[in-house]
A = this chain, B = another copy of it.
Amino acid sequence: MNGAFLDQIRWGPDGLVPAIAQDASSGQVLMMAWMNRAALAETLASGRAVYWSRSRRTLWPKGETSGHVQRVVEVRLDCDGDALLLKVEQIGGIACHTGRASCFYRRWEDGAWEEVEPVLRDPRELYGDPTP
C-alpha cells in the first residue's frame, strides 16, 4: 500500500491519533480509540477496524476476542489531519467491553455521571469468565 496518505496525517508525539468509531447506519458514536500508522494501514487493507492498545502496547484488532468486529464503511480525516472518523458496521451491535452498544454510556446530570445505556449482554459471556 502506498504510504503517502499516511504522511498526510499529523501523528502525535507518541505516534498516535484519536480514532472515533461511529455506527454508519444509526449515527451513534460507539467509541474512541487510538491508531498508529500500522493500525490505520491494517484497517484500510483489511476493511476491519484495528486500533493501537495503549495499555497493552500492541495492535488491537477490534472484536478479536468478543467477535464484535467493526466492518469499516468509510474513513474520514479532519481539517487538521490529526483525528480520524470511522463509519462502521458494528457486528453484534455491541462496541463496549461492558456489553453496551456504545462506550459513551455515562451522561452528565446535575453534577454526576449517570449510566443511561443498558447492558445488552453480560461481558462474562463476551470474554469468558475466569472464575468457575
Which A positions have Cβ atoms within 8 angstroms of B?
1-2, 4-5, 8, 18, 20, 22, 26-29, 31-32, 44, 74-80, 83, 85, 96-98, 100, 103-108, 111-113
Contact = CB atoms under 8 A, between A and B. Distances in A.
Please tell me how many copies of the chain the complex holds: 2
A47 to B, nearest CB: 12
Given A27-B26, A44-B108, A105-B76, A32 B5 contact: no
Contacts of A76: 104-108
B32 A78 contact: yes
A76 B109 CA distance: 10
B5 A111 contact: yes
Contacts of A8: 113
